[in-house]
Protein backbone atom coordinates (compact mmCIF):
# COMPACT_ATOMS: atom_id res chain seq x y z
CA UNK A 1 0.00 0.00 0.00
CA UNK A 2 1.34 3.41 -0.99
CA UNK A 3 1.85 5.58 2.08
CA UNK A 4 1.65 9.35 2.17
CA UNK A 5 2.60 11.54 5.09
CA UNK A 6 1.78 15.23 5.28
CA UNK A 7 3.66 17.46 7.73
CA UNK A 8 1.39 20.32 8.80
CA UNK A 9 -2.33 19.87 9.52
CA UNK A 10 -3.38 23.43 8.67
CA UNK A 11 -5.65 25.11 6.13
CA UNK A 12 -3.74 23.57 3.23
CA UNK A 13 -2.50 20.21 4.56
CA UNK A 14 -5.76 19.13 6.22
CA UNK A 15 -8.24 19.60 3.36
CA UNK A 16 -5.79 18.50 0.63
CA UNK A 17 -4.94 15.25 2.37
CA UNK A 18 -8.57 14.57 3.25
CA UNK A 19 -9.41 14.86 -0.46
CA UNK A 20 -6.56 12.56 -1.54
CA UNK A 21 -7.65 10.00 1.08
CA UNK A 22 -11.28 10.22 0.00
CA UNK A 23 -10.45 9.79 -3.68
CA UNK A 24 -7.81 7.06 -3.20
CA UNK A 25 -9.03 4.46 -0.65
CA UNK A 26 -5.99 2.30 -1.44
CA UNK A 27 -3.50 4.95 -0.31
CA UNK A 28 -2.78 5.42 3.39
CA UNK A 29 -2.62 9.10 4.28
CA UNK A 30 -1.26 10.27 7.65
CA UNK A 31 -1.31 13.95 8.52
CA UNK A 32 1.05 14.97 11.31
CA UNK A 33 1.51 18.15 13.26
CA UNK A 34 3.38 19.26 16.37
CA UNK A 35 0.21 21.00 17.55
CA UNK A 36 -1.58 18.37 19.67
CA UNK A 37 -4.80 20.36 19.95
CA UNK A 38 -5.07 20.63 16.18
CA UNK A 39 -4.49 16.92 15.68
CA UNK A 40 -7.13 16.07 18.32
CA UNK A 41 -9.60 18.47 16.67
CA UNK A 42 -9.19 16.84 13.26
CA UNK A 43 -10.37 13.58 14.84
CA UNK A 44 -13.31 15.18 16.64
CA UNK A 45 -16.76 16.45 15.70
CA UNK A 46 -15.55 20.05 15.49
CA UNK A 47 -12.73 20.36 12.97
CA UNK A 48 -10.00 22.93 13.65
CA UNK A 49 -10.95 24.96 10.56
CA UNK A 50 -14.31 25.97 9.17
CA UNK A 51 -14.65 25.03 5.53
CA UNK A 52 -17.98 24.19 3.87
CA UNK A 53 -18.20 20.48 2.99
CA UNK A 54 -14.92 19.57 4.68
CA UNK A 55 -16.52 17.52 7.47
CA UNK A 56 -18.10 15.11 4.96
CA UNK A 57 -14.82 14.57 3.13
CA UNK A 58 -12.97 13.90 6.40
CA UNK A 59 -15.69 11.58 7.66
CA UNK A 60 -15.57 9.56 4.43
CA UNK A 61 -11.96 8.56 5.04
CA UNK A 62 -11.16 9.10 8.73
CA UNK A 63 -9.66 5.97 10.31
CA UNK A 64 -10.19 4.12 7.01
CA UNK A 65 -7.13 5.44 5.19
CA UNK A 66 -6.90 8.93 6.70
CA UNK A 67 -5.11 9.30 10.01
CA UNK A 68 -4.01 12.25 12.13
CA UNK A 69 -1.08 11.95 14.50
CA UNK A 70 1.55 13.84 16.46
CA UNK A 71 4.12 11.11 15.86
CA UNK A 72 5.90 13.02 13.12
CA UNK A 73 8.97 10.76 12.92
CA UNK A 74 7.05 7.48 12.57
CA UNK A 75 4.85 8.85 9.80
CA UNK A 76 7.84 10.20 7.87
CA UNK A 77 9.76 6.95 8.25
CA UNK A 78 6.93 4.82 6.86
CA UNK A 79 5.98 7.14 4.00
CA UNK A 80 6.80 6.82 0.31
CA UNK A 81 5.73 10.41 -0.32
CA UNK A 82 6.08 13.24 2.22
CA UNK A 83 4.14 16.46 1.64
CA UNK A 84 5.51 19.47 3.50
CA UNK A 85 2.69 21.85 4.32
CA UNK A 86 3.98 23.86 7.24
CA UNK A 87 3.57 27.59 7.69
CA UNK A 88 6.02 29.93 5.96
CA UNK A 89 5.08 33.35 7.35
CA UNK A 90 6.75 36.62 6.39
CA UNK A 91 9.98 37.10 8.30
CA UNK A 92 9.64 39.51 11.19
CA UNK A 93 13.34 39.82 11.96
CA UNK A 94 16.77 40.25 10.38
CA UNK A 95 17.59 40.29 6.67
CA UNK A 96 14.46 40.57 4.54
CA UNK A 97 12.22 41.30 7.57
CA UNK A 98 8.71 42.22 6.46
CA UNK A 99 9.25 40.73 2.99
CA UNK A 100 11.11 37.43 2.82
CA UNK A 101 9.64 34.09 3.92
CA UNK A 102 10.57 32.74 7.30
CA UNK A 103 11.78 29.30 6.37
CA UNK A 104 12.68 28.03 9.81
CA UNK A 105 9.70 25.62 10.13
CA UNK A 106 10.27 24.35 6.66
CA UNK A 107 13.98 23.73 7.21
CA UNK A 108 13.30 21.97 10.51
CA UNK A 109 11.08 19.61 8.55
CA UNK A 110 13.77 18.96 5.95
CA UNK A 111 16.25 18.14 8.70
CA UNK A 112 13.74 15.87 10.45
CA UNK A 113 13.02 14.03 7.20
CA UNK A 114 16.72 13.49 6.62
CA UNK A 115 17.29 12.32 10.17
CA UNK A 116 14.56 9.70 10.38
CA UNK A 117 14.38 8.37 6.81
CA UNK A 118 15.65 4.88 6.11
CA UNK A 119 14.18 4.50 2.61
CA UNK A 120 13.99 6.60 -0.60
CA UNK A 121 11.20 9.16 -0.65
CA UNK A 122 9.51 11.77 -2.77
CA UNK A 123 9.30 15.10 -0.92
CA UNK A 124 6.55 17.42 -2.10
CA UNK A 125 6.60 21.15 -1.35
CA UNK A 126 3.02 22.19 -0.72
CA UNK A 127 3.62 25.38 1.27
CA UNK A 128 4.24 28.47 -0.82
CA UNK A 129 7.96 28.91 -0.96
CA UNK A 130 10.38 31.26 -2.64
CA UNK A 131 11.75 30.14 -5.97
CA UNK A 132 14.69 27.73 -5.71
CA UNK A 133 13.69 26.49 -2.27
CA UNK A 134 13.57 22.97 -3.70
CA UNK A 135 17.26 23.28 -4.42
CA UNK A 136 18.00 24.28 -0.83
CA UNK A 137 15.83 21.44 0.37
CA UNK A 138 17.71 18.94 -1.78
CA UNK A 139 20.97 20.16 -0.32
CA UNK A 140 19.76 19.83 3.26
CA UNK A 141 18.31 16.40 2.56
CA UNK A 142 21.38 15.04 0.85
CA UNK A 143 24.04 16.66 3.02
CA UNK A 144 26.42 14.01 4.39
CA UNK A 145 24.40 10.80 4.18
CA UNK A 146 23.85 9.73 0.58
CA UNK A 147 22.41 6.25 1.21
CA UNK A 148 18.81 7.46 0.98
CA UNK A 149 17.60 9.29 -2.13
CA UNK A 150 15.09 12.13 -1.97
CA UNK A 151 13.36 13.52 -5.03
CA UNK A 152 11.95 16.99 -4.39
CA UNK A 153 8.80 18.10 -6.22
CA UNK A 154 6.90 21.36 -6.09
CA UNK A 155 3.12 20.93 -6.10
CA UNK A 156 1.70 24.31 -5.10
CA UNK A 157 -1.84 24.47 -3.82
CA UNK A 158 -4.28 26.84 -5.51
CA UNK A 159 -7.30 26.22 -3.29
CA UNK A 160 -9.08 29.26 -1.90
CA UNK A 161 -10.60 29.22 1.56
CA UNK A 162 -14.35 28.90 1.67
CA UNK A 163 -14.32 26.94 -1.59
CA UNK A 164 -11.46 24.58 -0.72
CA UNK A 165 -13.47 21.42 -1.26
CA UNK A 166 -14.77 22.27 -4.72
CA UNK A 167 -11.34 23.67 -5.66
CA UNK A 168 -9.78 20.35 -4.65
CA UNK A 169 -12.48 18.21 -6.22
CA UNK A 170 -12.60 20.08 -9.51
CA UNK A 171 -9.43 22.18 -9.83
CA UNK A 172 -8.72 24.47 -12.81
CA UNK A 173 -5.34 22.81 -12.85
CA UNK A 174 -2.92 20.82 -10.74
CA UNK A 175 0.70 21.82 -11.09
CA UNK A 176 3.57 19.43 -10.50
CA UNK A 177 7.14 20.62 -10.94
CA UNK A 178 10.19 18.39 -10.77
CA UNK A 179 13.73 17.85 -11.93
CA UNK A 180 14.36 17.12 -15.58
CA UNK A 181 16.38 14.01 -14.64
CA UNK A 182 14.99 10.47 -15.13
CA UNK A 183 14.35 10.09 -11.39
CA UNK A 184 12.74 13.54 -11.32
CA UNK A 185 10.42 12.60 -14.18
CA UNK A 186 9.54 9.32 -12.50
CA UNK A 187 8.62 11.14 -9.29
CA UNK A 188 6.47 13.61 -11.24
CA UNK A 189 4.66 10.70 -12.85
CA UNK A 190 3.98 9.08 -9.49
CA UNK A 191 2.32 12.22 -8.16
CA UNK A 192 0.46 12.87 -11.43
CA UNK A 193 -0.98 9.34 -11.23
CA UNK A 194 -2.44 10.10 -7.81
CA UNK A 195 -4.23 13.27 -8.94
CA UNK A 196 -5.31 11.60 -12.18
CA UNK A 197 -7.63 9.37 -10.15
CA UNK A 198 -10.10 12.26 -10.13
CA UNK A 199 -8.62 15.16 -12.11
CA UNK A 200 -8.74 15.02 -15.95
CA UNK A 201 -5.21 14.47 -17.28
CA UNK A 202 -5.24 17.59 -19.43
CA UNK A 203 -5.65 19.68 -16.30
CA UNK A 204 -2.53 18.27 -14.69
CA UNK A 205 0.39 20.43 -15.76
CA UNK A 206 3.99 19.41 -15.34
CA UNK A 207 6.87 21.87 -15.38
CA UNK A 208 10.35 22.20 -14.08
CA UNK A 209 10.52 22.74 -10.37
CA UNK A 210 11.37 26.46 -10.51
CA UNK A 211 8.47 27.24 -12.84
CA UNK A 212 6.07 25.52 -10.45
CA UNK A 213 7.38 27.50 -7.48
CA UNK A 214 7.24 30.79 -9.38
CA UNK A 215 3.78 30.07 -10.84
CA UNK A 216 2.28 29.96 -7.38
CA UNK A 217 3.67 33.37 -6.43
CA UNK A 218 2.68 34.78 -9.80
CA UNK A 219 -0.89 33.48 -9.66
CA UNK A 220 -1.46 35.10 -6.28
CA UNK A 221 0.23 38.32 -7.35
CA UNK A 222 -1.99 38.56 -10.45
CA UNK A 223 -5.17 37.88 -8.46
CA UNK A 224 -4.27 40.42 -5.80
CA UNK A 225 -3.33 42.91 -8.50
CA UNK A 226 -6.84 42.70 -9.95
CA UNK A 227 -8.34 43.51 -6.56
CA UNK A 228 -5.96 46.44 -6.08
CA UNK A 229 -6.68 47.66 -9.62
CA UNK A 230 -10.44 47.75 -9.11
CA UNK A 231 -9.97 49.26 -5.65
CA UNK A 232 -7.87 52.05 -7.17
CA UNK A 233 -10.72 52.71 -9.59
CA UNK A 234 -13.23 52.64 -6.70
CA UNK A 235 -11.56 55.72 -5.20
CA UNK A 236 -11.96 57.50 -8.51
CA UNK A 237 -15.60 56.38 -8.74
CA UNK A 238 -16.37 57.92 -5.36
CA UNK A 239 -14.84 61.19 -6.52
CA UNK A 240 -16.70 61.28 -9.84
CA UNK A 241 -20.08 59.64 -9.16
CA UNK A 242 -19.25 56.70 -11.40
CA UNK A 243 -20.36 53.35 -9.97
CA UNK A 244 -17.58 50.81 -9.55
CA UNK A 245 -19.93 47.84 -9.96
CA UNK A 246 -21.03 49.19 -13.34
CA UNK A 247 -17.43 49.84 -14.36
CA UNK A 248 -16.39 46.33 -13.24
CA UNK A 249 -19.25 44.80 -15.21
CA UNK A 250 -18.48 46.86 -18.28
CA UNK A 251 -14.80 45.93 -18.35
CA UNK A 252 -15.39 42.34 -17.18
CA UNK A 253 -17.46 41.52 -20.26
CA UNK A 254 -14.32 41.99 -22.33
CA UNK A 255 -13.24 38.38 -22.64
CA UNK A 256 -9.62 39.37 -22.46
CA UNK A 257 -10.22 40.87 -19.02
CA UNK A 258 -12.91 38.51 -17.65
CA UNK A 259 -15.37 39.17 -14.87
CA UNK A 260 -13.79 37.47 -11.87
CA UNK A 261 -11.89 39.13 -9.04
CA UNK A 262 -13.21 42.57 -9.83
CA UNK A 263 -15.22 43.12 -6.66
CA UNK A 264 -14.16 46.38 -5.07
CA UNK A 265 -13.77 45.94 -1.32
CA UNK A 266 -12.05 47.18 1.80
CA UNK A 267 -9.00 45.32 0.50
CA UNK A 268 -7.72 41.80 0.22
CA UNK A 269 -6.70 39.73 3.21
CA UNK A 270 -5.82 36.11 3.85
CA UNK A 271 -2.63 34.28 4.53
CA UNK A 272 -1.38 34.26 0.94
CA UNK A 273 -1.76 37.43 -1.09
CA UNK A 274 0.30 39.91 0.88
CA UNK A 275 2.87 37.33 1.90
CA UNK A 276 3.34 36.04 -1.62
CA UNK A 277 3.60 39.48 -3.20
CA UNK A 278 6.18 40.59 -0.65
CA UNK A 279 8.01 37.38 -1.34
CA UNK A 280 8.01 38.20 -5.03
CA UNK A 281 9.24 41.72 -4.24
CA UNK A 282 12.06 40.29 -2.16
CA UNK A 283 12.98 37.84 -4.89
CA UNK A 284 13.10 40.60 -7.50
CA UNK A 285 15.28 42.70 -5.23
CA UNK A 286 17.58 39.76 -4.55
CA UNK A 287 18.19 39.53 -8.30
CA UNK A 288 18.72 43.31 -8.58
CA UNK A 289 15.39 43.83 -10.37
CA UNK A 290 14.28 47.04 -8.66
CA UNK A 291 11.57 48.16 -11.10
CA UNK A 292 9.72 44.82 -11.07
CA UNK A 293 10.03 44.82 -7.27
CA UNK A 294 8.51 48.31 -7.02
CA UNK A 295 5.80 47.42 -9.52
CA UNK A 296 4.53 44.54 -7.39
CA UNK A 297 5.00 46.39 -4.11
CA UNK A 298 2.40 48.92 -5.29
CA UNK A 299 -0.27 46.20 -5.15
CA UNK A 300 0.25 46.02 -1.38
CA UNK A 301 0.53 49.81 -1.04
CA UNK A 302 -2.83 50.21 -2.80
CA UNK A 303 -4.37 47.63 -0.48
CA UNK A 304 -3.24 49.53 2.61
CA UNK A 305 -4.55 52.75 1.08
CA UNK A 306 -7.96 51.15 0.58
CA UNK A 307 -8.18 50.14 4.25
CA UNK A 308 -7.15 53.59 5.51
CA UNK A 309 -9.47 55.32 3.08
CA UNK A 310 -12.42 53.35 4.42
CA UNK A 311 -11.77 54.48 7.99
CA UNK A 312 -11.17 58.08 6.94
CA UNK A 313 -14.47 58.06 5.07
CA UNK A 314 -16.21 56.78 8.20
CA UNK A 315 -14.62 59.47 10.30
CA UNK A 316 -15.39 62.32 7.86
CA UNK A 317 -19.00 61.31 7.36
CA UNK A 318 -19.63 60.92 11.09
CA UNK A 319 -18.84 64.60 11.69
CA UNK A 320 -15.07 64.07 12.13
CA UNK A 321 -15.41 62.39 15.49
CA UNK A 322 -16.14 58.82 16.44
CA UNK A 323 -14.75 59.01 19.97
CA UNK A 324 -17.15 57.24 22.33
CA UNK A 325 -19.42 56.14 19.47
CA UNK A 326 -20.49 52.50 19.31
CA UNK A 327 -19.54 50.98 15.96
CA UNK A 328 -20.62 47.45 15.04
CA UNK A 329 -18.27 45.55 12.76
CA UNK A 330 -20.29 43.01 10.77
CA UNK A 331 -17.68 40.39 9.95
CA UNK A 332 -14.06 39.91 10.91
CA UNK A 333 -13.02 36.97 8.69
CA UNK A 334 -10.94 37.99 5.66
CA UNK A 335 -13.72 36.71 3.40
CA UNK A 336 -17.02 34.85 3.74
CA UNK A 337 -17.33 31.13 4.48
CA UNK A 338 -14.19 30.89 6.54
CA UNK A 339 -13.30 31.46 10.18
CA UNK A 340 -9.81 32.55 9.11
CA UNK A 341 -8.81 36.06 10.12
CA UNK A 342 -5.18 36.08 8.99
CA UNK A 343 -4.28 39.45 7.42
CA UNK A 344 -7.97 40.37 7.43
CA UNK A 345 -8.52 44.03 6.58
CA UNK A 346 -10.88 44.00 9.58
CA UNK A 347 -7.84 43.86 11.89
CA UNK A 348 -6.37 47.16 10.69
CA UNK A 349 -9.77 48.80 10.41
CA UNK A 350 -10.62 47.77 13.97
CA UNK A 351 -7.28 49.09 15.24
CA UNK A 352 -7.73 52.45 13.53
CA UNK A 353 -11.26 52.81 14.93
CA UNK A 354 -10.03 52.04 18.45
CA UNK A 355 -7.24 54.62 17.98
CA UNK A 356 -10.03 57.12 17.33
CA UNK A 357 -11.56 55.97 20.64
CA UNK A 358 -14.61 54.37 19.05
CA UNK A 359 -16.40 51.65 21.05
CA UNK A 360 -16.05 48.72 18.67
CA UNK A 361 -18.31 45.65 18.78
CA UNK A 362 -17.36 42.69 16.61
CA UNK A 363 -19.78 40.11 15.30
CA UNK A 364 -18.99 37.24 12.93
CA UNK A 365 -20.69 33.87 12.37
CA UNK A 366 -17.42 31.89 12.47
CA UNK A 367 -14.46 34.06 13.30
CA UNK A 368 -14.97 35.45 16.82
CA UNK A 369 -12.43 33.13 18.45
CA UNK A 370 -9.78 33.85 15.82
CA UNK A 371 -10.58 37.57 16.00
CA UNK A 372 -9.73 37.55 19.72
CA UNK A 373 -6.32 36.07 18.90
CA UNK A 374 -5.61 38.81 16.33
CA UNK A 375 -6.11 41.72 18.74
CA UNK A 376 -4.98 40.45 22.16
CA UNK A 377 -3.95 43.96 23.18
CA UNK A 378 -7.44 45.37 22.51
CA UNK A 379 -9.54 42.83 24.38
CA UNK A 380 -10.49 45.29 27.11
CA UNK A 381 -11.43 47.93 24.54
CA UNK A 382 -13.63 45.99 22.12
CA UNK A 383 -16.70 43.81 22.61
CA UNK A 384 -17.57 40.54 20.91
CA UNK A 385 -21.16 39.67 20.22
CA UNK A 386 -22.49 36.53 18.50
CA UNK A 387 -25.83 38.11 17.64
CA UNK A 388 -25.62 40.88 15.01
CA UNK A 389 -28.84 42.46 16.27
CA UNK A 390 -27.33 42.82 19.74
CA UNK A 391 -24.09 44.16 18.23
CA UNK A 392 -25.96 46.88 16.36
CA UNK A 393 -28.20 47.87 19.27
CA UNK A 394 -27.37 51.40 20.38
CA UNK A 395 -24.71 51.73 17.66
CA UNK A 396 -24.05 54.89 15.69
CA UNK A 397 -22.74 52.93 12.74
CA UNK A 398 -22.44 49.50 11.19
CA UNK A 399 -19.40 48.69 9.10
CA UNK A 400 -19.93 45.58 7.01
CA UNK A 401 -16.49 44.03 6.55
CA UNK A 402 -17.12 40.42 5.48
CA UNK A 403 -19.59 39.38 2.79
CA UNK A 404 -21.34 36.66 4.84
CA UNK A 405 -24.66 35.68 3.32
CA UNK A 406 -26.18 35.86 6.82
CA UNK A 407 -25.68 39.62 6.80
CA UNK A 408 -27.82 39.91 3.69
CA UNK A 409 -30.74 38.18 5.39
CA UNK A 410 -30.93 40.47 8.44
CA UNK A 411 -33.95 42.64 9.19
CA UNK A 412 -32.32 46.04 8.63
CA UNK A 413 -35.52 47.89 9.48
CA UNK A 414 -35.44 46.35 12.96
CA UNK A 415 -31.73 47.13 13.25
CA UNK A 416 -32.29 50.74 12.17
CA UNK A 417 -34.83 51.24 14.94
CA UNK A 418 -32.39 50.01 17.57
CA UNK A 419 -29.57 52.32 16.47
CA UNK A 420 -28.64 55.88 17.44
CA UNK A 421 -29.84 58.38 14.80
CA UNK A 422 -28.60 59.33 12.30
CA UNK A 423 -27.73 55.67 11.69
CA UNK A 424 -24.73 55.13 9.42
CA UNK A 425 -24.11 52.03 7.37
CA UNK A 426 -20.75 51.51 5.64
CA UNK A 427 -20.91 48.60 3.24
CA UNK A 428 -17.29 47.57 2.75
CA UNK A 429 -18.30 44.74 0.43
CA UNK A 430 -21.02 46.37 -1.66
CA UNK A 431 -23.40 43.52 -0.93
CA UNK A 432 -26.52 45.13 0.53
CA UNK A 433 -29.43 46.82 -1.20
CA UNK A 434 -28.36 50.43 -0.78
CA UNK A 435 -31.54 52.01 -2.15
CA UNK A 436 -33.68 50.00 0.27
CA UNK A 437 -31.41 50.91 3.21
CA UNK A 438 -31.56 54.57 2.26
CA UNK A 439 -35.36 54.37 2.14
CA UNK A 440 -35.34 52.94 5.67
CA UNK A 441 -33.48 56.04 6.80
CA UNK A 442 -29.84 54.94 6.88
CA UNK A 443 -26.95 57.14 5.80
CA UNK A 444 -25.42 54.71 3.30
CA UNK A 445 -21.79 54.59 2.23
CA UNK A 446 -20.35 51.92 0.00
CA UNK A 447 -17.15 51.31 -1.90
CA UNK A 448 -16.83 53.04 -5.24
CA UNK A 449 -20.29 54.59 -5.27
CA UNK A 450 -21.59 57.97 -4.27
CA UNK A 451 -22.99 58.20 -0.75
CA UNK A 452 -26.71 58.26 -0.01
CA UNK A 453 -27.37 60.85 2.64
CA UNK A 454 -30.47 62.46 4.10
CA UNK A 455 -28.41 65.13 5.86
C1 LIG B 1 -5.99 32.87 -2.48
C2 LIG B 1 -5.99 32.32 -3.92
O3 LIG B 1 -7.27 32.62 -4.53
C4 LIG B 1 -5.73 30.83 -3.92
O5 LIG B 1 -5.66 30.34 -5.25
C6 LIG B 1 -4.41 30.58 -3.20
O7 LIG B 1 -4.15 29.19 -3.13
C8 LIG B 1 -4.45 31.16 -1.80
O9 LIG B 1 -4.75 32.55 -1.86
P10 LIG B 1 -7.73 32.91 -0.48
O11 LIG B 1 -6.74 33.78 0.22
O12 LIG B 1 -8.32 31.77 0.28
O13 LIG B 1 -7.08 32.28 -1.79
O14 LIG B 1 -8.96 33.83 -0.92
P15 LIG B 1 -9.40 34.64 -2.22
O16 LIG B 1 -10.75 34.20 -2.61
O17 LIG B 1 -8.38 34.63 -3.28
O18 LIG B 1 -9.56 36.12 -1.64
C19 LIG B 1 -8.46 36.85 -1.13
C20 LIG B 1 -8.90 38.20 -0.66
O21 LIG B 1 -9.25 39.05 -1.75
C22 LIG B 1 -10.12 38.19 0.27
O23 LIG B 1 -9.90 39.08 1.33
C24 LIG B 1 -11.24 38.65 -0.62
O25 LIG B 1 -12.28 39.26 0.11
C26 LIG B 1 -10.52 39.63 -1.51
N27 LIG B 1 -11.21 39.82 -2.82
C28 LIG B 1 -11.29 38.80 -3.71
C29 LIG B 1 -11.73 41.07 -3.14
O30 LIG B 1 -11.66 42.01 -2.34
N31 LIG B 1 -12.34 41.24 -4.37
C32 LIG B 1 -12.44 40.23 -5.27
O33 LIG B 1 -13.00 40.46 -6.37
C34 LIG B 1 -11.92 38.97 -4.94
P1 LIG C 1 -1.35 26.87 5.93
O2 LIG C 1 -2.42 27.91 5.78
O3 LIG C 1 -0.19 27.08 5.00
O4 LIG C 1 -1.87 25.47 5.87
P5 LIG C 1 -1.21 26.73 8.85
O6 LIG C 1 -0.54 27.66 9.79
O7 LIG C 1 -2.70 26.60 8.87
O8 LIG C 1 -0.69 27.10 7.38
O9 LIG C 1 -0.65 25.26 9.07
C10 LIG C 1 0.67 24.92 9.21
C11 LIG C 1 0.80 23.83 10.27
O12 LIG C 1 2.14 23.33 10.25
C13 LIG C 1 0.52 24.28 11.71
O14 LIG C 1 -0.55 23.53 12.26
C15 LIG C 1 1.86 24.01 12.44
O16 LIG C 1 1.68 23.54 13.77
C17 LIG C 1 2.49 22.93 11.57
N18 LIG C 1 3.94 22.83 11.71
C19 LIG C 1 4.86 23.82 11.67
N20 LIG C 1 6.11 23.33 11.82
C21 LIG C 1 5.99 21.98 11.96
C22 LIG C 1 6.91 20.90 12.13
N23 LIG C 1 8.24 21.12 12.20
N24 LIG C 1 6.42 19.65 12.25
C25 LIG C 1 5.09 19.43 12.19
N26 LIG C 1 4.17 20.40 12.00
C27 LIG C 1 4.60 21.67 11.89
- Nearest CA among 279, 295, 81, 302 for reference residue 193: 81
User: Which ligand has its closest atom nearest to the C-alpha of 343?
Assistant: 1
The residue contributing the CA closest to ligand 1 atom 16 is 160
397 CA to centre of ligand 1 in angstroms: 27
pLDDT at 96 over 90: no
Q: Give the distance (Å) from ligand 2 centre to CA of residue 288.
A: 32
Q: Is 24 an active-site residue?
A: no
Q: What percent of the chain has pLDDT over 70?
A: 100
Q: Which helix (H) or strand (E) holds 137?
A: helix 133-142
- Encode pLDDT of 22-45 as tens digits: 999 999 999 999 999 999 999 999
Query: Which ligand 1 atom is the nearest neighbour of the CA of 261?
Result: 33
Is the CB of 109 within 6 Å of ligand 2? yes
pLDDT tens-digit profile of 119-178? 999 999 987 777 778 888 888 888 876 789 999 999 999 999 999 999 999 999 999 999
Question: How many angstroms separate the alpha carbon of residue 268 from the centre of ligand 1?
Answer: 7
What integer is the mean pLDDT of 94-98? Answer: 86
Fill in the DSSP letter of residue 378: G
What atom in ligand 1 is closest to the CA of residue 164? Answer: 12
Nearest 10 degrees: Cα torsion 369, 375, 376, 381: -100
- Tell me the per-residue pLDDT of 263-298, one tens digit each, with 9 for 90 and over: 999 999 999 999 999 999 999 999 999 999 999 999
- Looking at 237, 272, 284, 350, which residue is catalytic? 272
Total number of residues shown for the chain: 455
Sheet with strand 443-446: strands edge to edge: 382-384, 359-363, 326-330, 397-400, 424-427, 443-446
Q: How does pLDDT run across 357-369, given as a tens digit for each residue?
A: 999 999 999 999 9
Residue 419 above 80 pLDDT?
A: yes
Percentage of the residues of the chain whose pLDDT score is greater than 90: 89
Amino acid sequence: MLKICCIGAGYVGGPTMAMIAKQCPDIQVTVVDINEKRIAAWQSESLPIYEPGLDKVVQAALNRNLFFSTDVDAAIREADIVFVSVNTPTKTFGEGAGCASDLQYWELCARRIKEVSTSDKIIVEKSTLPVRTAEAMERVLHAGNRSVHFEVLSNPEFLAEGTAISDLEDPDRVLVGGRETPSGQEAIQELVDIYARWVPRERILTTNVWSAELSKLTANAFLAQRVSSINAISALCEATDANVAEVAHAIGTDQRIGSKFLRASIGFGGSCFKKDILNLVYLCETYGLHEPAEYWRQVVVMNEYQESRFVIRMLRSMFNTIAGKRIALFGFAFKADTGDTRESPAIRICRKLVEEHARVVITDPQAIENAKLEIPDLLDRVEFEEDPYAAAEGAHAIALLTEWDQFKQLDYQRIYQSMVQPAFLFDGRNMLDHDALFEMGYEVFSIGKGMKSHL
